[in-house]
Each structure stands twice: as structure tokens, then as C-alpha cells.
């Protein structure tokens, strides 16, 4: 099961906006899933613990209905409680072994590796199922994010036997170069949720 899910990390990787209105969030996500998003990561920096549990539970049910992978950002315990497919960890979000102990052998674990190839190699050695690099382009969500060069993807692709996710200011126009360079999936926030037609934007990706 885990290997099948790992292989499914490809295509449009939608990361939720900071939306406290659960009804609106679900409407937006449904459009993205209808448009073809294959992975959804729940990330909401504005929600408290109760709201995060409510939203994550509802999104878990929705993604299951669409056959999409559901990942929780940063919070291993929340991922476990809502039976998410996995968790995504940043540099300060705990280690991979601890997450594996909670999620078990079937849980997916993704790791942010920024612009550092050695970090990715180490994450895979520790058991990460996919790695993420970026920001490749200026990001309005994280304007202070470290910059990654497209050449990084070309250099690490032969070294890594797990899916690679690219993130940071990605649009349907600039994303093709990242796929060509070796990315398996494109993680998108602004270009998706700020679109006038979310379903159409997802389809374009």
C-alpha cells in the first residue's frame, strides 16, 4: 500500500490556503480535486487545534471520495487521528523516525529539503517517501523562502529513488520546466486558490 501511494506522488500537489471558513475551504478543495489535483496537503496556519481537527477530518473524507492522497502538514498526531495518508515535515517539525513510529509502515512521510541536496539524501536514508525542494520562483506565501535553482532538480534526480516535489511560486506556465528537469509533482498554493476558476486552473496544471 505504501509503495502504491508513493508512486501516486505525481502531478498537481495542492496545498490548502489559510482558510478559517470550513464550508468555503471544502468548496475550494472540491473544485481543485475535480480539476485533477492528485495530492492534497492540509496546511492552515490560522486555525486553532479544534478547527484543524474539524477541517482535516472533512478533507480526509473528501479526498478519499476522489481517490486523492491526503497529507497533513507538520502535525504527525493530527495525521494519525484523521487517518491521513501521511505527513509532511519541515526542518523544525520533528524527525522522520518519530513520525514513522506514529504512522506505521504504511504512512507516507515527506520532507522539505529547500535547496539542499544532502538534506534530501539523508531524508531518504531515514525513510522519507518523497522530498520537496524550493522555492524555485518568488513566493507570496513565503517571500523569505530560500531560493532553489532548476538545475538542482537535474543534479539530484539520478541520486534519489523517491518522488520529488517542487514548490515556490509555481504556475501552469513555469511549472513545465520543473517537470522537465526531474520534478514528479508541483506543489501549488496561490496560482490555484487565487484563480477565478479553481477547477480550470487545476486542469491546466
Q: Which three cell numbers stand for residue 158?
A: 539520478
Catalytic residue (one of 6, 10, 112, 139): 112
Nearest to 180 by CA among 161, 159, 164: 164
154 is catalytic: no
Rounded to 5 degrees, φ, ψ at 167 are: -145, 160
Q: Is 43 a catalytic residue?
A: yes
Gap between the Cα atoms of 10 and 138, Å rounded:
22
In whole angstroms, what is the distance from residue 73 CA to residue 93 CA? 9
For 21, other C-beta atoms within 10 Å of its C-beta total: 11
State yes or no: is 112 an active-site residue: yes
> Cα dist. 126→76, 104, 114, 197 in Å?
16, 14, 17, 40
Q: Could you say which of 53, 81, 116, 142 is catalytic?
A: 142
> Of these residues, 5, 6, 10, 43, which one is catalytic?
43
At 124, is the secondary structure helix, strand, or coil? helix
**Nearest-5° angle of CA 141, CA 51, CA 96?**
65
**Residues with Cβ within 8 Å of residue 118, at least 6 apart in sequence:** none
Distance, in Å, from the CA atom of 32 to the CA atom of 86, rounded to the nearest integer, reads 20
Catalytic residues: 43, 112, 142
Amino acid at each position: 500500500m505504501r509503495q502504491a501511494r508513493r508512486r501516486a506522488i505525481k502531478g498537481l500537489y495542492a496545498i490548502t490556503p489559510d482558510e478559517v471558513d470550513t464550508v468555503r475551504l471544502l468548496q475550494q478543495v472540491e473544485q481543485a480535486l475535480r480539476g485533477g489535483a492528485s495530492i492534497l496537503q492540509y496546511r492552515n496556519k490560522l486555525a486553532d487545534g479544534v478547527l484543524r481537527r474539524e477541517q482535516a477530518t472533512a478533507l480526509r473524507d473528501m479526498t478519499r471520495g476522489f481517490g486523492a492522497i491526503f497529507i497533513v502538514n507538520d502535525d504527525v498526531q493530527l495525521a494519525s487521528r484523521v487517518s491521513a495518508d501521511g505527513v509532511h515535515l519541515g526542518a523544525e517539525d520533528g524527525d522522520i523516525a518519530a513520525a514513522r513510529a506514529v504512522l506505521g509502515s504504511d504512512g507516507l512521510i515527506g520532507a522539505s529539503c529547500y535547496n539542499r541536496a544532502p538534506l534530501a539524501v539523508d531524508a531518504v536514508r531515514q525513510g522519507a517517501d518523497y522530498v520537496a525542494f524550493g522555492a524555485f520562483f518568488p513566493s507570496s506565501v513565503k517571500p523569505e523562502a530560500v531560493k532553489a535553482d532548476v538545475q538542482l532538480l537535474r543534479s539530484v534526480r539520478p541520486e534519489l529513488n523517491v518522488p520529488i516535489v517542487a514548490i515556490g511560486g509555481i504556475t501552469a506556465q513555469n511549472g513545465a520546466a520543473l517537470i522537465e528537469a526531474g520534478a514528479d509533482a508541483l506543489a501549488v498554493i496561490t496560482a490555484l486558490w487565487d484563480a477565478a476558476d479553481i477547477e480550470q486552473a487545476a486542469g491546466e496544471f
